[in-house]
Amino acid sequence: MLSVKQAVILAGGRGTRLQPLTDTVPKPMILMNGKPFLEYLIGLLKENGICEIVLLLGYLPEKITEYFGDGSRFGVKIKYSISDLSDETGTRIKKAEELLQEFFLLTYCDNYLPLDLKKLVEFHEKQKTMASVTIYTNKDKITKNNVFVDEKGYVITYDRTRQAKDLNGVDVGFFILSKKITEWMPGENFSFQNVIIPKLIENHQLSGYLVDYRYYSIGSLERLPLTERFLQPKKVIFLDRDGVINKKPPKAEYVKKWNEFEFLPGAIEALELLTKNGYHVYLITNQAGIARGVMTESDLRSIHEHLQRELHNNKAKIDGIYYCPHGWDENCECRKPKPGMFFQAARDHQLDLSKTVFIGDDERDLQAGNAAGVKTILVTPEKNLLQVVHSLLGSTANKRIDTYYTLFESLLETYMKSDKTRFIVSIAGCSRSGKTILAKKIQEDLKGKKIPSTIIPLDNWLLGLNERKGNETVRERYQYTKISETITRLKHGEKIYPPVYDSQTRQVTQKKNSTPLYIEEHGIGIIDGIVSLDIEDVRNLSDYHIYVDINDTVRIQRLKEFYIDYKKCSTKQTEKIIKSREIDEVPIIKKTKDYADAIYTMNESDFT
């Protein structure tokens, strides 16, 4: 099989459609969720086995070379070919000829889609043409088509004006090319799209690999918000319904009414766990009973409304329901084993299907998931939905870490594998469990590794005593919205001047600290706060979640010492405060243990 290990990225243009953003940075360095778009593209290529990347630069090249360097920080080798700003795309490729491998992947710097390079290479080898290009089928008509691909997979028409009739797709880049293509290139300044693509078509040497994955672009200002949403990290699970959530009816029979719907053991608990851990859950289900006339779409809606109410009562939810009402002989795009429902959900919610999981129960589910590029797991009589979810999340027992060394190595490994511009660690646990001690220890050891870090103490966002009503839970005492906004801004590289809270007087003594909080590029922000795993936005922004556990007897003794020795409270006042916190704080915080990636139990030696 052909091996493609090199990618060449056209990244030299001026990016005039993105002005004024591109007045000071080149187009691929536009920030998406706090890091350059080009960093996402390089991450995608690396995930597909690309080892070497050649960047073809022209406009403000130093902005790119200074950020990416030799690529080692991103797990790839990066080479640069820098030419005049006036050079067109074809000329840039020609000038990089000495850097090109025998076969390479050519991409634009402003398009992204869930590439499966292995499938693209298999298609290219089957077609036996000099070049292949990825074509988005554009079934949702997000833009005008510019390509026609015939039934044999050959590109017949390429129209950059998008005026020709009967076009059936959009060129999104991701070409597989032979280095021999340079022999077709003229000596004068030329465009790859205007000169080489027409020549390939004329000689029947360009194949079109059709994909239903929607592509996302930074080609114009109006496209940026949608692309940024797509690139945001999301935890997504797709579920089949019958046989996964509820008991599957016999063949050719259907669940037609709510009283025929019977939850399978552990299904509700599994959905509660997914909801609690911040997953978006989407249902993907064939419902041919509608086509057969034994039930109506209204009947199905009623079943799903009851299902959602039952889940809501158990603190669980399904974020979206996709169903196919057609019969097997209607040749629709949505009935599994076809992947149409997955693609529709991806378009509706800006999902990268390659980063999602589908849990089904039969061969059709497996085929549909594979066709959509979704990791697919089947439940079995021996392993139900709850057990699969436990495996995905990792049981509490598997999260427990006995030694600080193991904890730090786990955190460091996660950081090194991450492609985040700024990495966030959340440390939660009950009051006086040792969170601050742990945060400082981690910071100290990161310094030894030459990794910059900043501790973010959430107590700065406690309400002052004069602002409290006296009957709040821990959720009302902390300003959740302001904390979420602050962590978001820090993740995007802003400097934040937090308020100052005096724990002894329990008052906000300064509205703005003179010393800012700031997370350096490729640095780590360490959130120190009992509620850090209880705030959904903060959980989602965090890349590693630690829950600090402690023996209750030790914890309460430390609380007493804190209030009596430090705050100078009387024994009676101290007991009253502790009793109150055991009611309005401890149960809430202990539940957040379920969100942790690591549960570390503090020992007496940690406090010395």
Q: How many CB atoms lie within 10 A of CB 16?
A: 8
Q: Please compute Rg for the chain using Cα positions.
A: 28
Q: Is position 365 annotated as part of the catalytic site?
A: no
Between CA 153 and CA 150 the distance in angstroms is 5
**Catalytic residue of the set 171, 212, 240, 597:** 240
Amino acid in the structure at residue 114: P
Q: With contact defined as beta carbons under 8 Å apart, do 226 and 216 qualify?
A: yes
Q: With contact defined as beta carbons under 8 Å apart, do 527 and 519 qualify?
A: no
292's tokens: 């057969």
Q: State how far Cα 312 lies from the chain centre.
A: 25
SS (H, E, C) 191-248: CHHHHHHHHHHHCCCEEEEEECCCCEECCCHHHHHHHHHHHCCCCEEEECCECCCECC
Q: With contact defined as beta carbons under 8 Å apart, do 234 and 274 qualify?
A: no
Counting Cβ atoms within 10 Å, is residue 604 exposed (0-12), middle (13-18) or buried (19+)?
Answer: exposed
| C-alpha dihedral, 518 to 519 to 524 to 526, nearest 10° | 30
Amino acid in the structure at residue 234: K
Counting Cβ atoms within 10 Å, is residue 349 exposed (0-12), middle (13-18) or buried (19+)?
Answer: middle
**Catalytic residue of the set 110, 171, 212, 242:** 242
- Sequence-distant (6+) residues with CB within 8 A of 42 are 53, 68, 71, 74, 76, 78
Q: Is position 242 annotated as part of the catalytic site?
A: yes
Q: State how far Cα 498 lies from the chain centre.
A: 28
Q: Catalytic residue positions?
A: 240, 242
